[in-house]
Amino acid sequence: MKNICVVGVGYVGIITAACFADLGNKVVALDIDEEKVAGLKEGKMPIYEPGLKELVDRNVLANRIEFTSSYEEGLKDAEFVFIAVGTPSGVDGEADLQYVAASARSIADHIKEGLIIINKSTVPVGTGDWVADIVREQNPEAGDFAVVSCPEFLREGSAIGDFMQPHRIVVGSLDEEAAEKVARLHLPLRAPIVVTDLRTAEMIKYASNAFLATKISFINEIANICEDLGADVMEVSNGMGFDARIGQSFLNAGIGYGGSCFPKDVKALAYMAEKSGRHPQLLHSVMDINSDRRVMAVEQVKSMLGGDDLKGKVIGMLGLSFKPNTDDMRDAPSVTMANLLLEAGAVVKAFDPIAMEEAAKLLPAVEMVDSPYTMAEGCDLLMVNTEWNEFRQLDLKRIHKSMKTPLLFDGRNIYDPKKMKQLGFTYRGVGRGYNGRKQQ
């Protein structure tokens, strides 16, 4: 058993804290937001993630995890402290490191000999060195400590599984002994461990996310071409994916990526490249394609409805979160598209199994309804924005009957075009073969 402190109880922090506790460690989860800490003490989770509440409750009962807003209390017995605070995008796309800096200064005020500080947040290359400098400047009497980079690779909606069965663990440090200790901390996960230097570890995280975002933008670019040539992007991506050099994952064409990671990480990597005098044209293309997909989707909806003026048209949105199994609305494509539709005069209704409370804060002009069937009533068109499994099992005959006109734009390609046509829908997916074309 090791004594661990995790600073930040946002998405990465609470998952990290709960999972390390479940591995048998003594964990203190620390956050300066006293409301979040109070909520956790009452069993209220700061985020929605499948299985998280059960995991936290189990470890609270076992006395392996506790919550505090005090650095003195959190670091009292800590051997390792993970910094897992937010690093949002700044004005020019750079990562905003104010919360990392504040955490480093507070850690310095309560640091003990031999403490290992681990950056879990996604931070620009060079941040580990910078954190060490902050600690020394804040507390010249800090003594021996080490800074290690151990980036997270968690997917929202499957984060607990990703933590417990990772593809790899990346550990970066200039202190070999500290790197070895952090590697040993992760041994129960039985995953490959990549040990490298600080800056390389930081770069691995950015390069990984940028590559995955590139795959998504690539297949969306192919989908655009499929639209014009009459090919089916679903079959194209399936055929490509059998090549082991390419793989099946992240080749789902649609309305693009969103969330808290890919958008800000690609921006931040492009910013770092530009600051170094490089011209990251591929990264800019990835971002441009992703942004264009949202606008193109709205243009396709307008085309299905007969023109740019949507005054009086009622559009229903199936799904609002940027992906299923989360309530995260950060950079969700639905927000951009809903606002464009509202600007064009449409009335927009929406349903999401989890995210409507968060979405209502961002989309006050959108009517949030209690079920997909209520939403479909009187609609001129439905849009699929999030591929929730329950949407695949809807009674589509009932949906068809309740709509004013049975038009459906499938932004996630969850339905079969032939079946939708048989049910009487005018259907359009993303890059789906004979979309809008007459079959010869």
Are 75 and 166 in the same domain?
yes
Number of domains in the chain: 2
Q: Report the number of secondary-structure helices (H) and strands (E) in the chain.
A: 18, 14
Contact 31, 8 (CB under 8 A): yes
Token digits for 129?
């060195």
Strand spans (E) along 108-165? 116-119, 146-149
Which pLDDT belongs to residue 433? 84
Is 65 found in the same domain as 23?
Answer: yes
Mean pLDDT for each consecutive 10-residue tract of the chain (440 residues)? Answer: 97 98 98 97 96 98 98 97 95 93 98 97 96 97 96 96 98 97 98 98 98 98 95 97 96 96 96 96 98 97 94 97 96 98 98 97 98 97 97 97 98 96 96 68
243 lies in the same domain as 369: yes
* Residue-number span of the structural domain to which 234 is assigned: 212-428
User: What is the reported pLDDT for 439?
Assistant: 47
Separation between Cα atoms, residue 69 and residue 92, nearest integer Å: 32
Could you say which DSSP state residue 45 is in? -
> Tell me, what's the pLDDT at 436?
57
Classified as helix, coil or strand, 94 is: coil
Say yes or no: 7 and 116 in one domain: yes
Closest CA to 149 of 94, 84, 86: 84
150 annotated active-site: no
pTM: 0.94
CATH code at position 313: 3.40.50.720
Same domain? 129 vs 59 = yes
19, 226, 261, 379: the catalytic one is: 261
* CA distance readout (Å), 133 to 104, 137, 213, 404: 9, 6, 33, 64
Backbone phi, then psi, for 308, in 5-degree steps?
-75, -30
Q: What is the DSSP letter of 89?
A: B
Residues 227 and 175 in one domain: no
Q: Single out the residue in 162, 196, 230 at which a domain terminates.
A: 196
